[in-house]
């Protein structure tokens, strides 16, 4: 079956719901999330990082299973209050790499823009869960100025839109910003890091497709998918629509204890990603952010998992195992021998 036929036949989970209405009706407390999933009442604290879990994502969680790997990514856990040596609120020292509001300069040829401080899902392991987003709010005029300043730097040819989730910008704003990038030939790539089409696939609107299509520069969408169960028919449909615009689609995952720390799970993830036109790109070791220590997979275990993964898969489906280190201009990547 070709992709065009598949596109016509796969409905979205709720054809009437817009992505904005799905966001509005997302679960915002542990108690309502537990209730929706048939789980007994429990700890309702959010440990300083609000619960946020949209319904399309929650619909993929197995009801009544407190160990579901998707649930563990969005439900707060009393271990978030544990103090762990080596875990901090700014594990990558990003506050020192924040030359002006809205911009993080961590990499040599790329400039990272904090497009928004909001996300459509709050991932409990997020390394920016303590990031001072309120210091990084910028107006549209400042955004345009940041793009112009970036384009003046001869060593930078790529803009990375990160956040928060850049696809929370509405289509008009996104279009205006990408139109500004069009004016600066030195920028040859725009990369968009997002979890939004995963948690609310309806985000891939016709207007977004038009915004991303026919650009002078290459557009790369980097999905953040950690587990094969996160991919359902609606996600597949969203990826197929993006693929038809000609954007490059990559995925990065975080290696998370009790979520995906098994080679068989990661192999299945790679296979599913490839079947929906997304290439596995990075498998990150956890950034040591305060509140997420219970997700840590030891280096020793990571090495064993990665070796087994490499044995399971052809090379092009094996993501690079990577660790980000503060002050480095690129991620440290590991083969099966040098972790």
Cα–Cα dist 267/227, whole Å: 10
| Residue 281 φ then ψ, to 5° | -125, -65
- Which residues lie below 8 Å from residue 261, measured CB to CB, with a gap of 6+? 255, 297, 301, 302, 305
Count of positions (residues) in the chain: 339
Closer to ligand SF4 at the Cβ: 191 or 195? 195
Q: CA torsion sign, 99 to 152 to 163 to 278?
A: negative
Which strands make up the sheet holding 218-223, listed edge to edge?
103-104, 110-116, 158-163, 189-194, 218-223, 248-254, 279-284, 320-323, 332-334
Query: Is the distance from CB of 106 to CB of 72 less than 8 angstroms?
Result: no
Tokens representing residue 254 in the block: 């975080």
Residue indicated by tokens 């990408």: 178
Whether the bond between 164 and the residue before it is cis, its omega within 30 degrees of 0, is yes
Smallest distance, ligand SF4 to C-beta of residue 331, A: 16
Smallest distance, ligand SF4 to C-beta of residue 126, A: 3
Element (H, E) at 281: strand 279-284
Smallest distance, ligand SF4 to C-beta of residue 131, A: 8
Closer to ligand SF4 at the Cβ: 164 or 228? 164
Closer to ligand SF4 at the Cβ: 130 or 215? 130
If one counts every other C-beta atom within 10 angstroms of the C-beta of residue 60, the result is 19
Closer to ligand SF4 at the Cβ: 61 or 119? 119
Report helix, strand or coil for 305: helix
Smallest distance, ligand SF4 to C-beta of residue 163, A: 6
Smallest distance, ligand SF4 to C-beta of residue 165, A: 5
- Which DSSP category does 285 fall into? P
If one counts every other C-beta atom within 10 angstroms of the C-beta of residue 14, the result is 14
Smallest distance, ligand SF4 to C-beta of residue 94, A: 12
Closer to ligand SF4 at the Cβ: 102 or 164? 164
Smallest distance, ligand SF4 to C-beta of residue 232, A: 18
Query: Where do contacts with ligand SF4 occur on this chain (CB under 6 A)?
Result: 119, 121-123, 126, 128, 163-165, 195, 224
Tokens representing residue 50 in the block: 């609000």
Closer to ligand SF4 at the Cβ: 115 or 147? 115
Task: Report residue 241 CA to chain centroid gap.
Answer: 18
Closer to ligand SF4 at the Cβ: 94 or 165? 165
Closer to ligand SF4 at the Cβ: 121 or 290? 121
Closer to ligand SF4 at the Cβ: 13 or 116? 116
Smallest distance, ligand SF4 to C-beta of residue 162, A: 7
Query: Is the distance from CB of 300 to CB of 339 less than 8 angstroms?
Result: no
- 265-292 b/e (C-beta count within 10 Å ≥ 16 → b): bbbbbbebbbebbbebbbbbbbbbbbbb
Smallest distance, ligand SF4 to C-beta of residue 183, A: 28
């Amino acid at each position: 079956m070709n992709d065009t036929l598949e596109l016509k036949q796969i409905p979205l989970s709720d054809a009437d719901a817009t992505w904005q209405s799905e966001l509005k009706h997302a679960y915002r407390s542990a108690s309502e999330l537990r209730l929706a999933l048939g789980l007994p009442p429990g700890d309702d604290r959010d440990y300083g990082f609000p619960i946020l879990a949209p319904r399309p994502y929650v619909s993929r969680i197995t009801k009544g299973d407190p160990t579901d790997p998707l649930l563990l990514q969005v439900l707060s856990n009393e271990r978030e209050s544990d103090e762990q040596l080596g875990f901090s609120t700014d594990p990558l020292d990003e506050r020192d790499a924040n030359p002006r509001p809205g911009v993080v300069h961590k990499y040599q040829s790329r400039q990272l823009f904090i497009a928004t401080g909001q996300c459509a899902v709050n991932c409990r392991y997020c390394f920016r869960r303590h990031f001072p987003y309120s210091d990084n709010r910028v107006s549209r005029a400042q955004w345009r100025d940041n793009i112009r300043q970036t384009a003046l730097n001869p060593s930078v040819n790529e803009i990375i839109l990160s956040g928060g989730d850049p696809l929370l910008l509405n289509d008009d704003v996104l279009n205006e910003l990408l139109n500004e990038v069009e004016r600066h030939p030195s920028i040859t790539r725009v990369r968009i890091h997002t979890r939004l089409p995963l948690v609310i696939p309806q985000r891939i609107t016709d207007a977004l497709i038009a915004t991303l299509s026919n650009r002078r520069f290459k557009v790369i969408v980097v999905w953040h998918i950690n587990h094969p169960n996160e991919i359902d028919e609606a996600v597949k449909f969203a990826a197929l629509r993006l693929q038809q615009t000609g954007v490059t689609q990559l995925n990065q995952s975080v290696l998370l204890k009790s979520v995906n720390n098994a080679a068989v799970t990661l192999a299945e993830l790679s296979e599913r990603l490839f079947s929906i036109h997304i290439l596995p790109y990075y498998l990150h070791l956890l950034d040591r952010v305060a509140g997420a220590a219970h997700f840590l997979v030891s280096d020793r275990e990571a090495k064993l998992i990665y070796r087994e993964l490499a044995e399971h898969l052809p090379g092009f489906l094996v993501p690079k195992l990577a660790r980000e280190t503060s002050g480095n201009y690129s991620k440290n990547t590991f083969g099966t021998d040098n972790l």
